[in-house]
Copies of this chain bind each other. A is one copy, B any other.
Amino acid sequence: MTHTHTLAVRVYYEDTDFSGLVYHASYLRFMERARTELLRDLGLGQRELLEAQGGLFFVVRAMTIDFRKPAQMDDLLTVETIVREVSGASFDLDQRVTRGEEMLVSAQVRIAAVEGGRPRRLPTEVREKFAAVATPRGA
């Protein structure tokens, strides 16, 4: 069974550019919103983590992104997120932005934790919560 987290995202003026389509970096904002909601659903508020852990932030370490089809103003999109791997210092996600049955954008994302600007191990609580919903890519 695959745990797929979903978030609905509406496209507004701010997300588009003069081509009439959604600006490419806007999809990264949509995917970040979905990761924040996934954390929240796991009981991990980022402001609380920041305070409790003495300055913990999550950062994107690497992304591979395919922009297949464009979204437009007023579109109602879905961001799907699947946790794939959890290691001591990072976790890997697959994310997709869809519009109904159409796949628009797909990405592989590696997230790491930093503290005071430096890499640090994931807190045990975070690692365990992610591991509990992980679906390895080959599974």
CB pair A19 B67 closer than 8 Å = no
- Using Cβ atoms and an 8 Å threshold, which residues of chain B touch A46? 73-74
CB pair B70 A62 closer than 8 Å = no
Which segment of A26-34, A78-86, A124-132 sits at the interface?
A26-34
CB pair A23 B13 closer than 8 Å = yes
CB pair B12 A29 closer than 8 Å = yes
- Say yes or no: is A121 at the interface (Cβ < 8 Å to chain B): no
- Say yes or no: is A42 at the interface (Cβ < 8 Å to chain B): no
- Using Cβ atoms and an 8 Å threshold, which residues of chain B touch A73? 18, 46-47
- Using Cβ atoms and an 8 Å threshold, which residues of chain B touch A3? none
Question: What 1/0 mask marks residues of chain A from 9 to 27 whose CB sits below 8 Å from any chain B CB?
Answer: 0101110111111011100
A61 nearest in chain B by CB position: B67
Residues of chain A having any CB pair with chain B under 8 Å? 10, 12-14, 16-21, 23-25, 28-29, 32-33, 36, 40, 45-47, 57, 59-67, 70, 72-74, 114, 117
